[in-house]
Structure 1
Amino acid sequence: MKVTINDVAECAGVSIKTVSRVINNEPSVRAATRQKVLDAVKTLNYTPNLAARNLAGTHTYSIAFIYDNPNAYYVIDMQNGILEACRSKGYELLIHPCDSNSPVILSDLNKLVEHGKVAGLVLTPPFSESPAFLETLKSMNVEFVRIASSRISHEIEENSIQIDDRQAAFNITQHLLSLGHKRIAYLSGGEEHLSTLERQQGYCQALEGAGITVDRQLIIDGEYSFESGESNAKKILRGDSVPSAIFAANDEIAAGALFAARMLEIDVPGQVSIAGFEDSPFSRQTWPKLTTACQPNKKIAHSAAELLLKRIQSKSAKANGSAAEGEIQRSFTPELIIRQSTGPSPE
């Protein structure tokens, strides 16, 4: 039989109303009582009827994950990270893929918030970096947390999780420079993502710091896809002045570049080194395995969801003269992982 709230109340030796307060994260419950209820919930493996809670009153117990990203690995990591935070707080997750180029995206967003009874949103690029999108959310008075690429500073926006793509890209490029590479190509991702520009800036800064003039012919525009990496790598590897290293804006692009090198019978890393970004499964499924920067997407998503739920619950906490507790990691710098795809320059 399905465990009910009555069973939890009996097991904990408290009233049904107290169990409800604990499940709803209301601040007016003593710590010892709260722990007894949580222990009973765990013992009985109780799952609240979230749909009924959403229908029961004005307070909603659902948040939405808004994204437009073709990388399935990225999306799954984000979903899992957000789900972990939701489950720990008794919230549901609405997964909402969108087309960021749709002319009706803003009206669709309005319908989602109004008719979906959504308490808040977790935004990823390009939505989290779109001024029009963010202004629309502010006008709707809905809570949101954005995951965005930006320079880490001491003044982090109160509703953002920052990723320092620039520093991570600088570190990757510096690694290639330390191996003696001077002609390093950069295979770009989509321009609608701020991370694309930030990673390119890190690449350029590392070259300039080493006294190397940035060759714009080695910066190739593209998309965050295997096909883009393959196509652009073939172009640059068939040119008159072949680079000794390629830095791709993500692992999918880098995997495509590695495939292109194999097709052209170019040895990696003997003749050309290749590095990616993100440490997605693509980086570990290739041979040789890709040097990359580990971006902990699941952990980033978990922090974003925790921050959003904290902001949602703090409204109720403030009304009761209390404040939400707990520190949340707000900034991340992807860490360099050196693997077999990079080696000394043949020069």
Structure 2
Amino acid sequence: MLQLDLTSEDFFRDPRPQLRRLREAGPVVEVKLPLFGRVWMATTQETVARVLKDSATFSLRKPDGNVAGIRWWMPGIVRTLASNMLTVDEPDHTRLREIVEEAFRRRAVLEMEPRIRSIAETLAGDLFAQGSPADLVNRYARLLPVSVICELLGLPLADRPKFMGWAARATSANSAIRFLRMLPTMVTMRRYLERQLEHARQGQGTGLIAELVAVEKEGAPITRDEMVSTIFLLLFAGHETTTHLISGSVFELAKNPALRDWLAADWSRADLAVEEFLRFVCPVQLSKPRYVRQDIDLGGVQLKRGDQITAGLASANMDPVANPQPEKLDLARKPNRH
């Protein structure tokens, strides 16, 4: 059994040797992860795709209704915040997704592009205001996504430091003790989100939260706990992943000045480059654990009903069967399978 710490400094600096070791161990391997304990991990694009797409076999919920990966010692607030559209199977996944999509449609997200560009340009202009070198992570990579998400949801920009502090504590909760220390913060987060929803119900809210409340008032089938967990998901999942993608991409460009110059010479190449950064940097390393509903052979490994398995997204992105020379950063890569 392999023991992995995906939060270690060594992994962040160069994850490829560990990801290679995973794939060499097999398309499905048993690993020990912080918080989740012993689980199976799919490591190739073929097995990862099967885990993510075959919801009849790999469920996000256990038979008792609890989210796969939730441990017995975790209190009720964890179950509440974890009960969102990313942790439910059909038909609940589609039900919640359609409610969120309707709120997004009413919010006219595409019309926000000029405002998002303005936020990005302002932050870029301020990056070196305190001199050089500048702290890219704290002065840009964290501020940009949280600013856009605040604008989208209708949350006060003045609360950005609060959100970033919460997110930092959440991402550092990589052991049972640290997780338990995080619980008071989770209670604070839930109370904050409940207050924002209540303001919107009283007609004082704006943005996507107000639109979600409007859909709720029109009879949409969504509980109050699901409303809280949905806002929690939109606020924190989008924030951290974008921060990691921006900072990781700039880090790679700093190490590869020839690639930086190639991209700067023609910004029409940006779409291709972003796809490659998504594959190479991979801001989400693992999927949420799935519960195995029935005995099955996956990648030559016999999984038993009741086992837990996670999709190793970062490992699959480095699968040489899917992408030639996967450990090479190729901003012009086509096709790009990730």
User: Which range, TM-score by smaller chain?
Assistant: under 0.3
Structure with higher helix content: 2
Structure with higher strand content: 1
Question: What is the TM-score normalised by the length of structure 1?
Answer: 0.23
